[in-house]
Structure 1
Amino acid sequence: MTLLALIAETARSMVGMPSYTAYRQHMAAHHPEAEPMDEVAFFRDRQQARYGGKGGGRCC
């Protein structure tokens, strides 16, 4: 892992953004028969799980 990638991964974890790399590693190790989501779908899925889909954003 390059220094830039390590810094980016650290920044993502500090703000609570899940790691796509960790997700891919988990899928390969525990669910090899399943097709993993692409990075865009993974990001949207994690946003949906965190913030919900009840329309609009959160104010506070």
Structure 2
Amino acid sequence: MIRALYAKARETALLMVGVPSYAAYRQHMAERHPDHAPMDERAFFRDRQEARYGSKGGGRCC
């Protein structure tokens, strides 16, 4: 039970700082979109970073 609580707290903390859960994405894809191939972990992380911060220098302050 403590391990499950720790895992959930860790996942929550990572989501709070903008690190998405690849495992949750894979589970979602398997359950909701079984006919689509999921992105690999590297492509998933890049996609989430671009969605959060934009691409082509859109997040620069200077």
- Tell me whether 1:26 sits opposite 2:28 in the alignment: yes
Unmatched 5+ residue regions in structure 1? none
- In the other structure, the counterpart of 2:11 is 9
Larger radius of gyration: 2
- In the other structure, the counterpart of 1:51 is 53
Distance (whole Å) between structure 1 residues aligned to residue 44 and residue 11 of structure 2: 16
Aligned residues: 59
Distance (whole Å) between structure 2 residues aligned to residue 34 and residue 21 of structure 1: 16
Structure 1 length as normaliser, TM-score? 0.73
Task: Give the CA deviation at 1:2.
Answer: 7.5
Unmatched 5+ residue regions in structure 2? none
Structure 2 length as normaliser, TM-score? 0.71
Could you tell me the percent identity over the aligned residues?
A: 69
Q: Alpha carbon RMSD of aligned pairs, Å? A: 2.3
